[in-house]
Amino acid sequence: MLAALFKFAAQTSNYAQVILQFRACRPVITISMTNHAPTLEDARPMVDSLISSALALSASDIHIEPAADSSEIRLRIDGILLTQQTLTPTAGRAVVARLMVMARLLTYRMDIPQEGRIPLENPSVELRLSIMPTIHGMRAALRMPAEHLHPAILQNLSLPAPVLDGLISFSKSDSGMLILTGPAGSGKTTTIYALLRHIVRENSGISIIALEDPVERDIPGVTQIEVSPFGQLTYEKALRSILRQDPQVLMLGEVRDAATASLAVQAALSGHRLVTALHAATPAGAITRLLEMGIEPYQLTSSIHSIVAQRLIRRKSSGGYKGRVPLAQFVRMDAPLRKAVLSRADTAALAAIYQDQPTYQNLHDVAQSLLKSGQTDEAEIARTIS
């Protein structure tokens, strides 16, 4: 059944039909043999088929979630988790153990979280594995390679024209900080990576360094450093040292605390271009959060070049959805916004100020344009930016 369904998924473009058939045939799959418990060799074909199917369906993640009497396998497709298979608890443990072996994790340590990478040869990609102990066994989350899901070129991301123009303008600037905001899974990292590739391509002979947790994919022309928030090489320690490495462009995976925010601002003020992500719902929310972290208003007005807020919305297809397109807004630190920040205006007042920028479009405006062009529908808009 799975083999036939995988063949159909690889041949058809009717995404909705694939999902319907997956939902219609969610068997309890047992890997166990009649005379012995499942082994790692028993789990090998199951894991290979699971990864192949996830790649064919452009899934971003595979979840293996243990319960009292079963173990569910779920795929995240276009941001939505769909249950695909139900295993016996014993078979679920064998599949997780096989993944741990592939990632070279400690299979005898079932009491601690572990992370690792699984290299594949065909296709030549690398998967990220995270293991977490639960009351019913080990839970596994496998992150699929983003390059199989998203374009690598900035101009191919389907960003709104004002956002694309703003990002290209930043790539040509001499200094300043670009902040990308949005919830987890909103495409911030994809946009940042595409921007870095654009800077590499358009600016020869410059030094670019990225600090990431973790490094998600290799970018030729960029020195990438993996930091550990709870280890010796934190964002703060790495950023302090990196500034002595004479970079011209810096990428900071995420601003998570006041110390890192302060260093990022100082880097932007000292003649570096810096790109980073910050968890906030809106550009105004990003400014407010940095103020709450203790950054002075005059530092923000002098260091921030622009802020992008981003979401991903599912694209309509025949009978359902297939793929996602970004909803994004671009806000530049102009004179009126600078004045509002210096006066410590609240979030609502900041938003009211930048809405008057000539090229500004809020997320609802962008969503409505996609609705008019038939690329999405009202239900998806409500789900994404309600």
132 & 254 share domain: no
**Is the pLDDT at 289 greater than 60, yes or no?**
yes
Residue 352: closest CA among 259, 249, 281, 282: 282
Q: If you count DSSP H runs as helices and E runs as strands, how many of each does the chain have, helices first? A: 14, 14
State both tokens at 19: 């999902």
Nearest 10 degrees: CA dihedral of 307, 356, 172, 291?
Answer: -30
154 & 118 share domain: no
User: What does the pLDDT read at residue 214?
Assistant: 86
Q: How far apart are CA 252 and CA 256, in angstroms?
A: 10
For range 77-88, the mean pLDDT: 93
46 & 193 share domain: no
The length of the chain, given as a count of residues: 386
User: What does the pLDDT read at residue 215?
Assistant: 87
Query: pLDDT per residue over 371-382, tens digit each?
Result: 999 999 999 999
- Sequence-separated (6 or more) residues with CB below 8 Å from residue 180: 188, 191, 192, 275, 276, 277, 278, 307, 308, 309, 310
H/E element holding 335? Answer: helix 335-342
**Is the pLDDT at 225 greater than 80, yes or no?**
yes
Query: pLDDT per residue over 100-154, tens digit each?
Result: 999 999 999 999 999 999 998 877 788 999 999 999 999 999 998 776 666 679 9
CATH code of the domain covering residue 73: 3.30.450.90
175 & 318 share domain: yes
294 & 206 share domain: yes
147, 182, 202 — which closes off a domain? 147
* pLDDT tier for residue 29 given thresholds of 50, 70 and 90: very low
**Is the pLDDT at 9 greater than 80, yes or no?**
no
135 & 156 share domain: no
User: What does the pLDDT read at residue 25?
Assistant: 47
For range 295-309, the mean pLDDT: 98
**Is the pLDDT at 16 greater than 80, yes or no?**
no
For range 278-299, the mean pLDDT: 96
Q: How far apart are CA 146 and CA 144, in angstroms?
A: 6
112, 132, 147 — which closes off a domain? 147
Q: What mean pLDDT value characterizes the chain?
A: 88
125 & 215 share domain: no
Query: pLDDT per residue over 235-257, tens digit each?
Result: 889 988 998 899 999 999 999 99
**Is the pLDDT at 28 greater than 80, yes or no?**
no
Angstrom distances, CA of residue 79 to CA of 19, 111, 131, 303, 380? 14, 30, 21, 33, 12
53 & 173 share domain: no
**Is the pLDDT at 11 greater than 90, yes or no?**
no
Residue 363: closest CA among 323, 306, 314, 312: 312
**In terms of pLDDT, which residue wins out, 144 or 24?**
144
**Is the pLDDT at 37 greater than 80, yes or no?**
no
User: What does the pLDDT read at residue 26?
Assistant: 43
108, 126, 147 — which closes off a domain? 147
CB count in 10 Å sphere of residue 59: 24
Number of domains in the chain: 2
Tell how strand 28-29 and strand 80-87 pair up: parallel
Contact yes or no for 99/87 (Cβ under 8 A) = no
Angle, helices 235-242/258-269, rounded to nearest 10 degrees:
20
193 & 331 share domain: yes
Question: What letter does residue 144 receive in the DSSP assignment?
Answer: P
* pLDDT tier for residue 39 given thresholds of 50, 70 and 90: low
Angstrom distances, CA of residue 15 to CA of 314, 316, 321? 12, 10, 7
Residue 139: give the domain boundaries.
2-147
Query: pLDDT per residue over 323-377, tens digit each?
Result: 999 999 999 999 999 999 999 999 999 999 999 999 999 999 999 999 999 999 9
15 & 155 share domain: no
CATH code of the domain covering residue 324: 3.40.50.300
For range 285-292, the mean pLDDT: 97
* pLDDT tier for residue 36 given thresholds of 50, 70 and 90: low
28 & 132 share domain: yes
80 & 176 share domain: no
What is the percent of the chain with per-residue pLDDT over 70, rounded to a whole number?
A: 87
**Is the pLDDT at 77 greater than 60, yes or no?**
yes
Contact yes or no for 66/137 (Cβ under 8 A) = yes
User: What does the pLDDT read at residue 318?
Assistant: 85
User: What does the pLDDT read at residue 40?
Assistant: 63
